[in-house]
Amino acid sequence: MDTFKTLEIKESIFENNNIQADLLRDEMKREKVFLLNLMSSPGSGKTTTLVSTIETLKGEMNIGIMEADIDSDVDAHTIAQTGTRVIQLHTGGMCHLDADMTRQGLTGLNTDNLDLAILENVGNLVCPAEFDTGAAKNAMILSVPEGDDKPLKYPLMFSIADVLLINKIDTIDYFDFDLEAVKARARKLNPNITIIPISAKTGQGVELWADWLRNQVRVWNQT
Q: DSSP characters for 172-216?
A: GGGS---HHHHHHHHHHH-TT-EEEE--TTT-TTHHHHHHHHHHH
Q: Are 143 and 45 in contact (CB under 8 A)?
A: yes
pLDDT tens, 5-34? 444 444 557 889 999 999 999 999 999 999
Binning pLDDT at 50, 70 and 90, where does residue 85 land?
A: very high
Binning pLDDT at 50, 70 and 90, where does residue 3 land?
A: very low
Q: Are 195 and 183 in contact (CB under 8 A)?
A: yes
- What's the confidence (pLDDT) of residue 92? 73
pLDDT tens, 99-154? 998 999 999 999 999 999 999 999 899 999 999 999 999 999 999 999 999 999 99
Q: Are 186 and 193 in contact (CB under 8 A)?
A: yes
| 31 class by beta-carbon count within 10 Å (0-12 exposed, 13-18 middle, 19+ buried) | middle
